[in-house]
């Protein structure tokens, strides 16, 4: 009974598992795979405390497979190889019964550690299930990622967190012996930040002080208030502070940018995560108003990847200040957004014949590439011709922003296209 509440009521079957219905609901993709008994290597990606480890355990139990766990924090290459050797000894006659090796926080594994897994996954000795709070595209080596299916787990919503609390009260032996009333839970849900483990830990703390407990917002704030100001790089503060950081840059406020940057650095945030967000901001919020911003942000990302802490803070500060002081334009961002919406609305429109590739005689006979005008054969390397499908001919997607750089774009386009690009 010394185990924490979150462990005591951990779901042991799909039926007990709350949330992620897109994966383990009646028509969920993992539900179908479990029924078939065919589980590919996979990566579970999502915020902390949403049941990634629990889901991995359930998959192993439901498919009757040996289950091995490694933590990226405490395991080295030697530990990985030892577990793989144990798993190989338990490998059955069929690949569908391969042992499962679960790697918690796989994004913390070094390249050499991930490389040590690759051979076992390739040869079918084990089925890998990795859990990560970070984008696996950045944190998992391409060779390993290409052999895994990536499934996104969503944060718990308010109703699901309420279900967790009620389930704890009803199912846990210790809590069942108490009289607990959930009078107000908004503060409890807010402090937990959608992290089920954190929610249950706080709840257990609140109900440990007596046998008759009424949960109210004031009680939660009184007991937990000191925790809400703390930067938690894996919790709600993580998302709130990075949001404030990016909005300060977008709003051209270097003071705000360096303050929120300092909050993240002092909280132990991964410098590569911050640098990635600077890269996105340089394109999304500054774009062609100052193309150099993207170059600087990319160089910053490369530099902090080499330098690390504590000096990386200087590079990040320089980049953040530069981006905040840059002219802003989201024209390119809006252009691709509108273009994607147009594609969704109009479907797969045919490429006009004059724009098609014609590598064979048959294609040339079918008029592929016919009447295409090679721009370099004309004055100023330009000739007026249509580059969109006939059905959407004349549609305007890119609208330059109001800044000196993109004003030059406007002049360039108007001189060549006349009315077509008349802003």
Of 58-62, 76-80, 120-124, 160-164, least confident by mean pLDDT is 76-80
Task: State the CATH architecture for 20-152.
Answer: 3-Layer(aba) Sandwich (3.40)
Q: Are 33 and 65 in contact (CB under 8 A)?
A: no
* Residue 228: predicted pLDDT: 44
Average pLDDT over residues 193-216: 86
* Residue 308: predicted pLDDT: 79
Q: Which residues of 222-250 are buried (b: 16+ CB within 10 A; e: fewer)?
A: eebeeeeeebbbbbbbbeebbebbbebbb
The domain ranges of the chain are 20-152, 158-228, 236-324, 341-421
Average pLDDT over residues 124-144: 88
Q: Which listed CATH number (3.30.1490.20, 1.20.272.10, 3.40.50.720, 1.10.10.60) goes with 236-324?
A: 1.20.272.10
Q: Does domain 158-228 have CATH number 1.10.8?
A: yes
Average pLDDT over residues 236-265: 89
Query: Rounded to an integer, what distance in angstroms lies between the CA atom of residue 100 and that of residue 64?
Result: 10
Check: pTM over 0.75? Answer yes or no: no
Domain 341-421 sits in CATH at: 1.10.3710
pLDDT tens-place string over residues 64-107 = 888 888 877 777 778 888 888 887 776 654 444 788 899 988 88
Average pLDDT over residues 391-406: 90
* Residue 225: predicted pLDDT: 56
pLDDT tens-place string over residues 220-232 = 887 775 444 445 5
User: What secondary structure does DSSP assign to 42-96, as a single string?
Assistant: EEEE--TTSSHHHHHHHHHHHTT--EEEEETTT--HHHHHHHHHHHHHT--SSGG
Average pLDDT over residues 203-208: 87
Q: Where are the alpha helices (DSSP H) in 308-403?
A: 312-324, 331-346, 361-365
Query: Rounded to an integer, what distance in angstroms lies between the CA atom of residue 410 and that of residue 414?
Result: 6
């Amino acid at each position: 009974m010394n185990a924490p509440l979150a462990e005591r009521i951990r779901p042991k079957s799909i039926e007990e598992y709350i949330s992620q219905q897109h994966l383990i609901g009646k028509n969920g993709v993992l539900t179908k795979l479990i029924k078939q008994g065919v589980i590919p290597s996979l990566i579970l990606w999502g915020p902390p405390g949403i049941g990634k480890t629990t889901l991995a355990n359930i998959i192993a139990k439901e498919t009757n497979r040996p289950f091995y766990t490694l933590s990226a924090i405490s395991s080295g290459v030697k530990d990985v190889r030892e577990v793989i050797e144990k798993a190989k000894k338990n490998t059955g006659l069929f690949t569908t019964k391969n042992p499962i090796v679960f790697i918690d926080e796989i994004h913390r594994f070094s390249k050499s550690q991930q490389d040590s897994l690759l051979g076992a996954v390739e040869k079918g000795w084990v089925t890998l299930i990795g859990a990560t709070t970070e984008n696996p595209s950045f944190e998992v080596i391409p060779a390993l990622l290409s052999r895994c299916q990536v499934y996104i787990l969503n944060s718990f919503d308010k109703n699901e967190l309420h279900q967790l609390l009620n389930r704890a009260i009803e199912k846990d032996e210790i809590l069942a012996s108490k009289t607990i009333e959930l009078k107000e839970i908004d503060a409890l849900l807010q402090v937990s930040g959608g992290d089920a483990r954190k929610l249950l830990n706080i709840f257990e703390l609140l109900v440990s002080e007596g046998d008759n407990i009424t949960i109210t917002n004031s009680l939660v704030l009184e007991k937990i208030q000191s925790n809400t100001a703390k930067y938690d790089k894996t919790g709600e503060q993580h998302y709130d502070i990075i949001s404030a950081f990016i909005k300060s840059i977008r709003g051209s406020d270097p003071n705000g940018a360096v303050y929120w940057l300092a909050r993240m650095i002092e909280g132990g945030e991964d410098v590569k995560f911050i640098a990635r967000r600077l890269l996105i901001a340089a394109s999304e919020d500054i774009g062609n108003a100052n193309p150099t911003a993207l170059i600087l942000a990319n160089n910053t990302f490369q530099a902090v990847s080499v330098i690390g802490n504590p000096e990386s803070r200087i590079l990040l500060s320089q980049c953040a200040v530069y981006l905040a002081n840059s002219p802003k334009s989201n024209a390119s961002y809006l252009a691709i957004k509108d273009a994607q919406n147009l594609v969704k609305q109009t479907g797969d429109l045919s490429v006009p014949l004059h724009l098609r590739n014609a590598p064979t005689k048959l294609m040339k006979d079918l008029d592929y590439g016919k009447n295409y005008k090679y721009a370099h054969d004309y004055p100023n390397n330009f000739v007026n011709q249509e580059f969109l499908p006939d059905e959407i001919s004349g549609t305007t997607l890119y609208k330059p922003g109001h800044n000196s750089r993109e004003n030059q774009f406007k002049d360039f386009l108007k001189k060549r296209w006349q009315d077509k690009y008349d802003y």
